[in-house]
Structure 1
């Protein structure tokens, strides 16, 4: 499927069943991953999971991250607060491909309550198989990085270490 790179995966209580399906898919495909929780429907706060997954990607411990909650909305909002993260909420194959090709997304978010397991695995596969196209998209990513730097105020992840 893809080169053997570690993928960070995490969910809150509302996304743990879909996360399990994605993990099984990864195991079938031989994709290496690290699970950052959770495994049960016991309530947890999605920002806590989004933070550890996003930070692991920002630090380079994992090349990509996948986050699952009920809708994917909370996870994408929280993950995008981490400097260096470009998280994308995808509901279909087209947006999964565009997120990688145009936006160089390094975190994918999904919603268990809105996306079935079969489609979710297709989205994940498309997202992982797609590559950043560069070209005209480079200057747009540079502008995103400029915005991030403007509001980072010296507290970026790399500067805290």
Structure 2
């Protein structure tokens, strides 16, 4: 799978680890930054990863920050993105199975690296359930369209 990934300074070390792990798993990883632990603003990184997904350059995106909260807000401002902040395997399965998330947000300050790998692995392999969840995603898309018109 083609995956775009980015992290702010708080998520940099975990991003480096996950990039290596994902590559070892056979994925193509596009590291969009940051490339050091120097302080950086996360909104442009989020927008870049999300645009890689919406423009079809990547099938999925992963964004890492300290808490992941701001990153989730920023990602979900991009039309067509369904970003989910996941702290455990349960929320990860819901994010993909029910919400068909196309961007995963991780909180580097609270996740152990091994847990982050488990979450990413689960997120990449959990299919969207469809059914009633598809109807709800259509309703969310309608909200997004309505908001774009006002």
Short-chain TM bin: over 0.9
Alignment size in residue pairs: 150
- C-alpha deviations, 1:42-100, integer Å up to 9, x for none? 11100010000011111111110000011111111100000000000000011111110
Question: Alignment partner of 1:33: what SS?
Answer: strand
Matches within 5 A, 1:117-128: 117-128=113-124
1:137 counterpart = 2:133? yes
2:15 aligns with: 19
Matches within 5 A, 1:103-122: 103-122=99-118
1:97 counterpart = 2:93? yes
Question: Alignment partner of 1:67: what SS?
Answer: strand
Question: Alignment partner of 1:24: what SS?
Answer: helix
* Structure 2 gap ranges (5+): none
> What do you get for the CA RMSD once the two structures are aligned?
1.0
1:157 aligns with: none
Question: Alignment partner of 2:48: what SS?
Answer: helix
Q: 2:79 aligns with which of 77, 80, 83?
A: 83
1:31 aligns with: 27
Normalised by the length of structure 2, the TM-score is 0.97
